[in-house]
Structure 1
Amino acid sequence: MIRRINDTVIKHIQGNLMTYFFVLLFFMIGISAGAFMSKALTETENKELIGYLRDFFSIVDSKAIDNFSILKQSLLNNFQTGIIIWVLGVTVIGIPFILLLIGLRGFIIGFTVGFFVKQMGLKGVIFSLVSILPQNILIVPATIFIGVLGISFSLMLIRSKTRKNKQYNIVNQFFLYSTVIAVVHIVITVGCLVEAYISPFFIKYLSTYM
């Protein structure tokens, strides 16, 4: 069973190498742009964000963390992205918007990590590792996978309209497309649980040293 899944995943990646290349490219561009933007903040913007960061650490250090609220917000944010990509995938004009969404996810990560590192140096690197990395080990690959699926499905719709001699069972393909995305959201849910119940533990522990 595991071997069959591995073979299916490898076959999928091999069949969509160019799509993965462009999705990863936009994600990396987003990270780079976010990191650059964190360094290009004005003095006023820097002070505002530093003040917010200090308030955050003081709240975390003095109050109990509402893990369930974090989980709800994380699920909302990540499911919203996944659903938007799913919807864009069933349109023939959704490809650039999917790439922009993936780039935006990279931008947010790049900006956040860049700001932490800029303001706290090595402590910022450590804080990023424990607060951002754990959940994104699951969420980022899952989101990229959904993005590739959305683009692939959109390309299939375009081919079905332009190649009249080639038959596509759109209904079956749509069902498969939707089912796979739903299954991938299980992985995203696990990532959200990590963000809500594991990362805050390390954040609270480290907040006393920040």
Structure 2
Amino acid sequence: MFRKLRELLLKHIQGNVVIYFIVILFFVVGISSGAFTVKALSDQHKGELISYMQNFFQVLNQSTFDAFSVLKQSLVNNLQTGILTWILGVTIIGIPLILLIIVIRGFIIGFTVGFLIEQMGIKGFLFCVFAILPQNLFIIPGIIIIAVIAVSFSVMLIKSKLNKNYQVDMVRQFVLYSTIVAAVFLVILLGSFIEAYITPIFMRFISQYM
């Protein structure tokens, strides 16, 4: 079973290698933009963010952590992104907006990581490794895969409109498209569980040394 899944995944990547390159490129652009934005912040804004982070670490160490609330919020945020991307995939004009979503997700990560490392050095790097990386090992690939599939489906729609000789069963393709997106959501769900129930353990430990 796992061998078949691996073969299907490799076939999918090979068939969409150009789209993967474009989506990942936009994600990297978002990360770079977020990191450079940190450099452009005024000292006042940096001071406000540092104060917010210090308060966050204090609350994290003193209060009881509501993992279920974190899980709900993570699911809402990530499912909104995934569902919006899925909807945009069935529109002809959805491709630019899908890429914009990818840029924004990259920007958020780039800004957060860039700020933590700039202000806290090795401590900030360790916090990123243990508090940001674990869940995003599942969430970000999931969102990228959904974006690639959505762009691919949108391209197929454009071809069918422009080329009358391009024959495809749209209903069957839509069902397949939606099924794959739903399966990828399970990967994102795993990332949300990690963010809610595993990452906080690391965050509490690391925050003691921040």
Counterpart in the other structure of 1:30: 30
CA positional deviation for 1:166: 2.3
Question: Separation in 2 of the partners of 1:59 and 1:5?
Answer: 43
CA deviations over 1:25-64 (Å, ceiling 9, x no partner) = 0000000000111121111111110110010000001111
Matched, 1:179 2:176: no
3-state SS, counterpart of residue 6 of structure 2: helix
Residue identity (%)? 55
Counterpart in the other structure of 2:69: 69
CA positional deviation for 1:126: 0.2
CA positional deviation for 1:6: 1.1
Counterpart in the other structure of 1:4: 4
The TM-score normalised by the length of structure 1 is 0.99
Counterpart in the other structure of 1:129: 129
- Would you say how many aligned residue pairs link Structure 1 and Structure 2? 210
Question: Separation in 1 of the partners of 2:188 and 2:204?
Answer: 23
Structure 1: which amino acid aligns with 2:112?
T
Question: Separation in 2 of the partners of 1:166 and 1:34?
Answer: 41
Matched, 1:153 2:153: yes
Question: Separation in 2 of the partners of 1:165 and 1:53?
Answer: 58
Counterpart in the other structure of 1:43: 43
Instruction: Extract unaligned runs of 5+ from structure 1.
Output: none
Give the alignment's Cα RMSD to 1 decimal.
Answer: 0.7
Counterpart in the other structure of 2:193: 193
3-state SS, counterpart of residue 168 of structure 1: coil
Counterpart in the other structure of 1:166: 166
Question: Separation in 2 of the partners of 1:56 and 1:185?
Answer: 29
Question: Separation in 2 of the partners of 1:68 and 1:55?
Answer: 22
CA positional deviation for 1:207: 1.1
CA positional deviation for 1:4: 1.4
